[in-house]
């Protein structure tokens, strides 16, 4: 359950990146700050392309004892030795993913701003539930997940909760006490120094 402890960082990759440069960029970021988990969130459904990215990032992540999950593609998680899957359609496929990947895999579910969907995902065996966007980002339906949802969840539900989508230093200050993880991706990748951007974003946590 969330508390006033510092939330852990759940890093989300860009939707597209070059394998010539991104693994080194990721390694630098992992060496520069503590990351709990990485989500490979490549756009599209090119299994070969996503598989190559999975192999490259798995090496970087596992060398540093950081878990790597892939968005949506259960078969890629299984085939490429990843730690699990992040499902974008709420509770719908949690049980099926668990059946394929086994009891030890990470199975997470993005549930938009729906408390009901989050509860269903938790009851179906999700290891975490993600709500968002919390800021100005066209994620899911675009309807923001507000602080009250996270406060209620952290008070009532034991399944860890991720706050993601449009995080700012102000939102991090507000959501840190009621979130177990902060999902950070697009907020840091557009500039030349993602590590510096991440540290600036997390400055309110001290």
Which residue segments constitute the domains of the chain, with CATH numbers given? 8-205 (3.20.20.70)
Q: What is the C-alpha separation between 39 and 32, in angstroms, rounded? A: 18
Which pLDDT score, from 0 to 100, does residue 1 have?
Answer: 40
Length reported for the chain: 206
CB atoms closer than 10 angstroms to residue 128: 24
Q: What is the C-alpha separation between 100 and 191, in angstroms, rounded? A: 38
Please report, in tens digits, the pLDDT of each residue of the chain (206 residues total).
Answer: 444 479 999 999 999 999 999 999 999 999 999 999 999 999 999 999 999 999 999 999 999 999 999 999 999 999 999 999 999 999 999 999 999 999 999 999 999 999 999 999 999 999 999 999 999 876 666 689 999 999 999 999 999 999 999 999 999 999 999 999 999 999 999 989 999 999 999 999 98
Taking alpha carbons only, the member of 184, 195, 188, 203 closest to residue 6 is 203
SS3 category, 91: coil
Q: Is the C-alpha dihedral spanning 149, 130, 65, 1 positive or negative?
A: positive
Which pLDDT score, from 0 to 100, does residue 14 have?
Answer: 97
What one-character-per-residue DSSP string does 3-52 give? -SSPPEEEEE--SS--TTTHHHHHHHHHHHS--SEEEE--SS--HHHHHH
- What pTM did the predictor assign? 0.95
Q: What angle do CA 10, 133, 16 make, to 5 degrees?
A: 60
Q: 63-80 in b/e burial notation, b at 16+ Cβ within 10 A?
A: eeebbbbbbbbbebbbeb
Helices (H), the chain: 22-32, 47-63, 74-79, 94-101, 115-123, 147-156, 169-175, 186-189, 194-201
């Amino acid at each position: 359950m969330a508390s006033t402890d510092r939330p852990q960082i759940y890093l989300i990759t860009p939707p597209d990146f070059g394998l010539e440069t991104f693994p080194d960029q990721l390694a630098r970021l992992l060496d520069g700050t503590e990351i709990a988990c990485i989500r490979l969130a490549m756009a599209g459904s090119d299994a070969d392309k996503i598989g190559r990215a999975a192999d490259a990032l798995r090496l970087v992540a596992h060398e540093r004892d950081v878990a790597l999950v892939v968005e949506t593609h259960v078969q890629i998680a299984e085939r490429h030795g990843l730690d699990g899957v992040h499902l974008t359609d709420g509770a719908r496929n949690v049980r099926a993913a668990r059946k394929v990947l086994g009891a030890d895999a990470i199975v997470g579910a993005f549930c938009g701003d729906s408390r009901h969907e989050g509860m269903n995902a938790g009851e179906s065996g999700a290891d975490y539930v993600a709500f968002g966007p919390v800021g100005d980002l066209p994620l899911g339906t675009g309807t923001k997940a507000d602080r009250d949802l996270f406060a209620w969840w952290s008070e009532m539900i034991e399944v860890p909760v991720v706050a993601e989508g449009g995080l700012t230093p102000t939102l991090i200050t507000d959501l840190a006490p009621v979130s177990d993880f902060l999902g950070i991706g697009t907020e840091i990748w557009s500039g030349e120094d993602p590590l510096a951007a991440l540290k600036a974003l997390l400055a309110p946590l001290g």
